């Protein structure tokens, strides 16, 4: 899904990046072996990219979710926000790095039921948090906790939603091309 509006800014090339934007893009290249087009788009506003990277790192490295659970949250939010770029990127990570099966990843991409009950509860509560704009009901929270989660997980979902709002919304208006690294998981164009 893309926005009707598209910014006139385009993803920054290596030659165009300067200052903080260049530092973050160089850091991404050193860590990932390439600079994702999404980062290049956000680098037009270094504060946007910096905030995204900082929140993403905290969610990935200092949270209480397993990698499988992290991807469940990210794919659920990216799907809800209609971000094809992040859906492709997190699908690649889900299967190749985070331990979700191809079937689980496909179910998350399509909004279908997961066989793993705990992951299903996580996806349902994450979607509930997205749908209610962070105003969960007692019943939804009780079902989430009954699946084995705690209050700290609710706060971590909020962090993930903030990170995905930054990336999903910026992708909507910048409309970066899906990188070759994620191309196998590209979301098919709507008919």
**pLDDT tens digits, 70-113:** 999 999 999 999 999 999 999 999 999 999 999 999 999 999 99
Question: Number of folded domains in the chain?
Answer: 1
Domain that holds residue 134: 19-183
**Does some domain include residue 152?**
yes
**Does some domain include residue 82?**
yes
Q: Nearest to residue 61, comparing CAs of 181, 179, 159?
A: 159
How does residue 10 score in pLDDT terms, banded at 50, 70 and 90? confident
Work out the end-to-end distance of the chain between its first and last CA atoms, rounded to an integer number of angstroms.
12
Q: Is the pLDDT of residue 44 over 80?
A: yes
**Does some domain include residue 87?**
yes
**Does some domain include residue 6?**
no
**Does some domain include residue 14?**
no
Q: Is the pLDDT of residue 180 over 80?
A: yes
Q: Is the pLDDT of residue 40 over 60?
A: yes
**Does some domain include residue 40?**
yes
Per the document, the length of the chain is: 191
- pTM score: 0.95
The H-or-E segment that residue 117 falls in is helix 117-131
| Percentages (nearest 5) of helix, strand, coil residues in the chain | 65, 0, 35
CATH of the domain at 25: 1.20.1290.10
**Does some domain include residue 7?**
no
Tokens of 177: 């091309």
What integer is the mean pLDDT of 133-147?
Answer: 98
How does residue 126 score in pLDDT terms, banded at 50, 70 and 90? very high
Quote the percentage of the chain above a pLDDT of 90. 93
Q: Is the pLDDT of residue 1 over 80?
A: no
How does residue 191 score in pLDDT terms, banded at 50, 70 and 90? low
């Amino acid at each position: 899904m893309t926005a009707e509006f598209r910014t006139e800014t385009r993803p920054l090339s290596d030659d165009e990046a300067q200052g903080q934007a260049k530092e973050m893009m160089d850091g991404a290249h050193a860590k990932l072996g390439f600079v994702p087009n999404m980062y290049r788009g956000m680098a037009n506003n270094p504060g946007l990219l910096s905030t995204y990277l900082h929140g993403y790192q905290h969610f990935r490295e200092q949270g209480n979710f397993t990698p499988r659970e992290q991807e469940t949250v990210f794919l659920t939010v990216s799907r809800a926000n209609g971000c094809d770029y992040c859906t492709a990127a997190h699908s690649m990570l889900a299967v190749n790095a985070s331990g979700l099966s191809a079937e689980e990843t496909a179910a998350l991409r399509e909004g279908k039921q997961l066989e793993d009950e705990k992951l299903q509860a996580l996806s349902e509560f994450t979607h509930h948090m997205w749908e209610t704009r962070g105003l969960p009901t007692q019943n939804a929270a009780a079902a989430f906790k009954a699946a084995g989660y705690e209050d700290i997980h609710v706060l971590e979902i909020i962090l993930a939603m903030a990170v995905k709002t930054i990336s999903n919304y910026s992708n909507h208006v910048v409309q970066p091309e899906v990188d070759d690294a994620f191309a196998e998981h590209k979301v098919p164009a709507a008919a």
